[in-house]
Amino acid sequence: MHLLHVVGARPNFVKVAPVYRALADHGVRQTLVHTGQHYDANMSGVFFGQLGIPDPDENLAVGSGSHAQQTAAIMTAFEAVVLRYKPDAVVVYGDVNSTVAAALVCAKLSIPVAHVEAGLRSFDRTMPEEVNRLLTDQLADLLFTPSDDANLNLLREGIAPEKIDLVGNVMIDTLVRLLPEAEKSVPQDLPRPYGLLTLHRPSNVDDQDVLKPILTTLLDLALAPHILFPVHPRTKHRLREFGFHWGNGDRLRVLDPQPYLEFLGLQRRAAFIVTDSGGIQEEATFLGVPCLTLRENTERPVTITRGTNILIGRDMVRLGAEIEKILGGQAKSGTTPPLWDGKTGERIADSLIKRYH
């Protein structure tokens, strides 16, 4: 049996690592293709090293571009690769452009596709990721879901029940395995308490009338926690463009993008997290850290119904109020969703072997 994995961005790296490792333990032949959708030579190398992923067998190096340009470039380059390797099945991850591009190519070539993290829905088609999720799930032959709500979404969309496999959250496998090492990586001189901020979505960072109120709200909090802000390159560019100057002394500490271990360690010790990321909502839920999400919706509702996540949208008054509650000892509590146990990669590997061996 020969399986080919397609990854294109950092969240994909975190998801592929447990699956690749579990399949390797069974002696399965594997090929790893990195599309280069998000590529930073230094950070990608660090991520692969920390996660224990081998260097990609193929790097398509497609780079950035509009969604249409990037998806088309991936499809063109990937078709040649998949025809050369002729795998028994292709495994795709998450909801990035690389995922839907690979699924489309495989559908045209009648090559089976397995989708890891299937069934998530925000029900907001203005999000490019939502379109990617919908199309990939319609094309996939085997759909690995992280939670019960994902199963229900797929069934409502007419996906045959025999294609759906509830396996749990594969990102948590990596977190469980590396958390002890991550905790050792946290600098000893960090201020306490501190909040952790991440922003990267165009809806939050491309409009200064949205971005500036977020930062000023965090800086003007009465209880004055420190804010650690690993800045995404897109966000950094916008901040310079808008002429935003870091204020309030050293309360806002701007950091470079962090490798996986270092960022996980920062999450673990944070008093709260403010984010617009999908994966961080899940990691915060598992870690039991209060998470305030600057979005109007989420494709991960289990982080709200069971976990520590709260949707804030653009309500800066509520953002300030929720942080004050957290710092005052009234944080929302949560529980770990079923099957978020660090063994999802093994369940996926067993299912793939059963299906395609």
Active-site residue (options: 5, 200, 226, 237): 200
Average pLDDT of the chain, as a whole number:
93
pLDDT in tens, 135-174: 999 999 999 999 999 999 999 999 999 999 999 999 999 9
Residues 229-258 have a mean pLDDT of 81
- Every domain range in the chain assigned CATH 3.40.50.2000: 2-168+340-356, 180-327
Cβ count near 85 (within 10 Å): 16
Confidence at residue 250, expressed as pLDDT on a 0 to 100 scale: 66
Q: What sections of 53-206 are H helices per DSSP?
A: 67-85, 97-109, 128-139, 148-156, 170-184, 202-205
pLDDT in tens, 122-134: 999 999 999 999 9
Q: Which fold has domain 180-327?
A: Rossmann fold (3.40.50)
Candidate from 222-236, 256-270, 289-303 with smallest mean pLDDT: 222-236
Q: What is the 3-state secondary structure (H, E, C) of 208-268?
A: HHHHHHHHHHHHCCCCCCEEEEECCHHHHHHHHHHCCCCCCCCCEEEECCCCHHHHHHHHH
DSSP 8-state assignment for residue 339: T
Q: In whole angstroms, what is the distance from residue 90 CA to residue 31 CA? A: 9
CATH code for residues 2-168+340-356: 3.40.50.2000
Greater model confidence, 220 or 318: 318
Q: Which two tokens stand for residue 143?
A: 């759909």
Reported residue count of the chain is 357
Residues 328-349 have a mean pLDDT of 96
Confidence at residue 248, expressed as pLDDT on a 0 to 100 scale: 47
Cβ count near 94 (within 10 Å): 27
Residues 96-120 have a mean pLDDT of 98
Would residue 38 show up in a list of annotated catalytic residues for this protein? no
Cβ count near 127 (within 10 Å): 17
Cα 248 → chain centroid: 31
pLDDT in tens, 20-63: 999 999 999 999 999 987 666 555 677 788 999 999 999 998 87
pTM above 0.85, yes or no: yes
